[in-house]
Structure 1
Amino acid sequence: MKQILLTNDDGFDAVGLKALIEALTPIAKIIVVAPAKNKSACGHSLTLDKPLRMDCLKDDFYKIDDGSPTDCIFISISNLFKEGYKPDLVISGINIGANMGEDITYSGTAAGAMEAVIHGIPAIAISQVCRDRCQDIQNNWDFELAKKTIVELVTKIFDNNFPLDERKFLNVNIPPIKANECNGIKVTKAGYREYGNDTHRHLNPRGEEYYWIGLHPLIWRESQNKDCDFEAIKANYVSITPIMLDMTSYNDIKSMENWLTK
């Protein structure tokens, strides 16, 4: 039976992780290694300044105390699988909230998939876009479309092959709609996110300053061909973006060489 390693930057008890386990248990052996607490927006961070404890909560289900999704994948590959063996697939999610455009660089969800492909394991990051983060969760969002999509993708991968070369992963975003409202799946590019500065300054009871960084609205730069992840979600499509880890700007190498010789 195929083995899928799961993680989730919302933590080991995240509702999105529970939905992912429920969707995939019928088609694969599931191993879960997730952070003990929410690690949203931790990026591709690896913990180097302290030891990490991995606690087994039940069969094939672990949490890592104060670990990041990157830690979870890194540690589990070498400690939960026999030497020479790896999981057939790593899936990070289902994240609560979008991971589109440059937010991919902040994302702990994307980072879990990044770490997997560095180790030669095919990977998917999947996120549920929300209209209202708190309201959607309070209304017991059923993840029906996200579960349907991930089962279709995993089945296709296991029946055929993973569609990308090494050090590349699939970044999937699910629109905030019911499954029967979805217009289909679009393969997209990562869009250009427009950022503000939602930083709130406060004083504690001792008069000391502290700051909260807020959530930015999903505002993006319109793409010429309407083919980015933001626009697919707006049009009620599932967005799948192939992401590569090689961030070299190849088009600029020659101009940089010319610039240096001037």
Structure 2
Amino acid sequence: MENKCGMSSAGGDRPTVMVTNDDGIDAPGLRALVRVLVSTNRFNVFVCAPDSEKSAVSHSITWRNPISAKPVEISGAIAFAVSGTPADCTSLGISKALFPAVPDLVISGINMGSNCGYHIVYSGTVAGAREAFFNDIPAVSLSYDWVGGRSKVDDFSLAAEACLPIISAILVEIKQKTYPRNCFLNIDVPTNVMNHKGYRLTKQGKSIVKMGWRQVTSDAQGGQMLSTMTMDTNSSYTEEDLSTKHEHLIFKREVRRSHVEDGDTDYCSLQEGYITISLLGALSPAELDSQSYFKQWLPRVTECLSSSAL
């Protein structure tokens, strides 16, 4: 039996979804997403996630050293904690070396903090989905715009439930072999998820938090960094001349300023209260005006080189 969206009900051939993240396998966002997926009784759920936080590691992979995978008890799912990066976890999870089947869909998240604009480049969450895309497996990265003092852990469950129609619709298209394989999706859920304004198809913008460095007395001082690259600016630092007291100079990142552009970009739409859906690919091509400039520039350089050789 199928529901009105075409999803097979319990007892039919259930699609397999693999969940990963960059906040670690114990993160509340991942656990909430898995609970919601399992509770529907529509999916086989695998979990292959880092054994500790790996925020802002981008698409780094473990190359020279082996990694370990430890079974973890998560109700309704087959789960492993992996001593690698998010990209490692996805690569291992889809390889059939760990699980008995290749997942139909990889979901990376739910991340604690939004992933918009240029921060997508830093994001381990997005990398978890991108790695699946590299291997021709449909993928989605999910992030919740967590704001300290306003957000609650229960908001992760609300975010998962709000994205469930998108996940279900993707799996229907995959089953029907009509889902496009030339992109993957990056979804951000607004802080006030209870009153979100619906889904909006957006594009990756150029928003970024400009970071600086401050010399500090201890590497343990400073705020917690999220994959949005935002930092707790209320943290205090004690500065002193370390060069006379220590062999090593210690530095911590700090927020200097933010850059946000106007328009129908992911960040702006997210701040307006929409669940944003951005299509991403593997490459980041330069803008057309830059391409035009360098088409004229390179022949001039070549001509100058030829002239100097005479």
> TM-score per shorter chain, which class?
0.7 to 0.9
Q: CA deviation at 1:124?
A: 0.4
Structure 2 partner of 1:77:
94
Q: Secondary structure at the match of 1:192?
A: coil
CA contact (8 A) 1:118 1:167 kept: no
Q: Secondary structure at the match of 1:230?
A: helix
| Residue-by-residue CA offset, 1:168-221 (whole Å, 9 max, x unaligned) | 111000100142x11111111112114322433212496342122246776412
Q: Secondary structure at the match of 1:261?
A: helix
Give unmatched runs, 5+ long, in structure 2.
1-13, 219-241, 301-310
In structure 2, what residue type is equivalent to 1:55? Answer: K
Of 44-53 and 202-211, the range deviating more from structure 2: 202-211
Structure 2 partner of 1:157:
170
Give unmatched runs, 5+ long, in structure 1.
none
Q: Secondary structure at the match of 1:52?
A: coil
TM-score normalised over the length of structure 2: 0.74
1:245 aligns with 2:287: no
TM-score normalised over the length of structure 1: 0.87
1:47-86 pair list within 5 angstroms: 47-58=62-73, 60-65=78-83, 67-78=84-95, 79-82=97-100, 85-86=101-102
1:178-257 pair list within 5 angstroms: 178-179=193-194, 181-204=195-218, 207=246, 208-214=248-254, 219-222=259-262, 226-249=263-286, 251=288, 252-253=290-291, 255-257=293-295
Structure 1 partner of 2:52:
37
Structure 2 partner of 1:123:
139
Give percent identity, aligned residues only. 30
Larger Rg: 2
In structure 1, what residue type is equivalent to 2:168? Answer: T
Aligned residues: 252
Q: CA deviation at 1:167?
A: 4.4
Regions of 4+ moved over 6 Å? none
1:261 aligns with 2:299: yes
Of 98-107 and 185-194, the range deviating more from structure 2: 185-194
Structure 1 partner of 2:36:
23
Structure 2 partner of 1:98:
114
